[in-house]
Amino acid sequence: MRKRMVMMSCLLILVAACASSKEKLKEPIKDTETNAKLAEHGKIFKKGVEKVTSNIYVAVGFGLANSIMIEGTDGLIIIDTMESKEAGLEVMAEFRKITPKPVKAIIYTHNHADHVLGTEAFIEDGHTPAIYAHETTDYHVNRVINQMRPIIGTRSMRMFGSFLDEKKMVNAGIGPFLKINPGSTSSYLPPTKTFSDLLEDEVAGIKFQLHHAPGETDDQLFVWLPHQRVLLCGDNFYWAFPNLYTIRGTPFRSLQQWCQSLDKIRDLQPEYLVPSHTRPLKGADTIAKILTDYRDAIQFLHDQSVRGMNMGLTPDELTEYVQLPGHLAKAPYLQPFYGKVSWSVRSMFAGNLGWFDGDSASLQPLTRKEQARLMARLAGGEPELLRQAKEALENGEYQVALQLTSHLAQLNPESQPAKEIRVQALLSLGEREENPNARHWYLTEALEIRDGFIAREAMKPSSKILERLPLKGFFEILAVSLDAKASMKVNKRVGIKFRDRGEAYSLHVRHGVAEFRPQSPEEFNRTDYDIKVVADSQIWKEMLARVRHPLTTLPTFDYKKGNFLALAQFLKLFTLPEQKLPYQPFSG
């Protein structure tokens, strides 16, 4: 009986580690003002299907991205599939009001969630059309789903304002909102036709070219219809300053490649330009002027950032030094409704020179707590620092108040007066901010502090999605989830064979490191592991993805050595760490 209770306790600990928290918001934050320019910008997302030319339609305002339909002789081509199956179904219902023809091809312009996660909505009668994408798109989709999902998910929820009510959610800069919630379904399907540089094909009588055109992502492509002079540019252009860096976090985006991609588009002299965000443009001369300004803004930022770096400027100094020329800064399609010049400049520095700003004081800086103590000492003590933060708030110096509360949090994270000052500073900054990404981040953090939660992304992958993901990715997730302290004295090897896939893996936890290696089933059979397990790959994936309960799943595996209690104790070492708000102190 005692042994059974211990086993149940271990499983419950594992379950708790795997369970996602379900935070409940209190009442909405008080009414906040909206930057007038941002409110006006929202008018371009009027919901509906717009006819571009005789057989091309674009659905705008149904989610963060657009979905585009090309009608051919006996079928349809869909470009981009929205951010969830539910969003895709709404768009497809509108397309069906135009034509009953079957979908014969789907094209992904790039890997971002709002362009690929609604695919199953466009598949009818069980017939899967050809799916076109760049050869690296599937890799990039899997990368975000696997190793980086916890932090990218949280940062995305803040950036897109997913926890804000409708009044606070004015627009998302490149779309009205990100249509993802706990009830959303992810329905991505991997590409079936890929290419490297250029692909020419014909579907339903429509001749098209796919050009690799890296910009916002490395796998970005554009679609060129030469006979109609229509170009579908993906995210290499939209009616806002480009996201040369995104605050949700991303690998470095090459500004030079982005300019070169825009130049390829300009050289084709399209008569129609259909972005995957915001509204389409018509007229070759108009498009040429806009794209020239757009690429000039990107090149200016690149060149002047490099020039400033060569002058020895730090990232903070670069944000003062690099300012767009007047004719570009005033252009309506270069307003900071998505990207910002200052963020992009910082990314240029980090992407080219790394984290070190060149100042010797930055080589071994004080810890955040030591900096806070220094600030309090200079202010005359912690109470005086709190008084000055309050005074800054009352004087409308909201950024000062925000920064001072970051120091106060290091000294006393439970200080209610400091929290209240920070919340008010965040709300005031948010209601004045014209960039929706920054606005959402300010307002969401205010909610998180007030209500004591973390804005986690709650959409779970479907069983179909998990079935298509490679097993390797799930071991990569385990490796980056290892609790180094808890495993520092552990030296244990687990072998897992997946009977349905003819694959096996060894997972060796060795003093704070989890090494995994693929193995042949023969090697698995002859190796003496500490725990030896045979399992079904889909069940294993669903358990790690929290679709299945560990309590009922672990006992169903076939144990050649060890038992489900031993495996439960082993998997406890891979507890997903709790997130904290960035301004809060790290407890170590």
In SS3 terms, 520-563 reads as CHHHHHHCCCCEEEEECHHHHHHHHCCCCCHHHHHHHCEEEECC
The DSSP call for residue 30 is: P
Question: Exposed, middle or buried by CB within 10 Å (0-12, 13-18, 19+), for 442?
Answer: buried
Q: Name, in order, each residue with C-beta under 8 angstroms of 60's C-beta and a sequence gap of 6 or more.
A: 45, 46, 47, 48, 49, 50, 66, 278, 279
Pick the CATH number of 470-574 from 3.40.50.10470, 3.40.50.2300, 3.30.1050.10, 3.40.50.150: 3.30.1050.10
Predicted pLDDT of residue 100: 97
For the stretch 196-230, pLDDT in tens is 999 999 999 999 999 999 999 999 999 999 999 99
Other beta carbons within 10 Å of 6: 12
Distance in angstroms (rounded) separating the CA atoms of residues 457 and 453:
12
Six token digits for residue 263: 């130049």
Pick the CATH number of 362-451 from 1.10.1330.10, 1.25.40.880, 3.40.50.720, 3.40.190.10: 1.25.40.880
Distance in angstroms (rounded) separating the CA atoms of residues 280 and 275:
6
Q: Where are the domains of the chain?
A: 36-288, 362-451, 470-574
Distance in angstroms (rounded) separating the CA atoms of residues 544 and 461:
11
Positions in the chain whose pLDDT score sits under 50: 1-25
Distance in angstroms (rounded) separating the CA atoms of residues 318 and 459:
38
**CATH number for the domain running over 36-288:** 3.60.15.30
| Cα-trace Rg, the chain | 26
Give the full edge-to-edge strand order of the sheet including 130-134.
Answer: 48-53, 56-60, 67-71, 76-79, 103-107, 130-134, 193-195
pTM of the entire structure? Answer: 0.89
- Helix, strand, coil percentages for the chain (3-state, nearest 5): 45, 15, 40
For the stretch 498-527, pLDDT in tens is 999 999 999 999 999 999 999 999 999 999
Distance in angstroms (rounded) separating the CA atoms of residues 276 and 53:
16
Containing H/E element for 481?
helix 471-481
Burial 206-228 (b: 16+ CB within 10 A, else e): bebbbbbbbbbbbbbbbbbbeeb
Predicted pLDDT of residue 183: 79
Six token digits for residue 11: 């499983």
Strand, coil or helix: what is 387? helix
Q: Name, in order, each residue with C-beta under 8 angstroms of 355's C-beta and a sequence gap of 6 or more.
A: none
Predicted pLDDT of residue 6: 36
Partnered with residue 311 across adjacent β-strands are none
Residue with tokens 């299907």: 49
Burial 115-137 (b: 16+ CB within 10 A, else e): bbbbbbbbbeeeeebebbbbebb
Predicted pLDDT of residue 3: 40
Predicted pLDDT of residue 145: 67
Contact 5, 11 (CB under 8 A): no
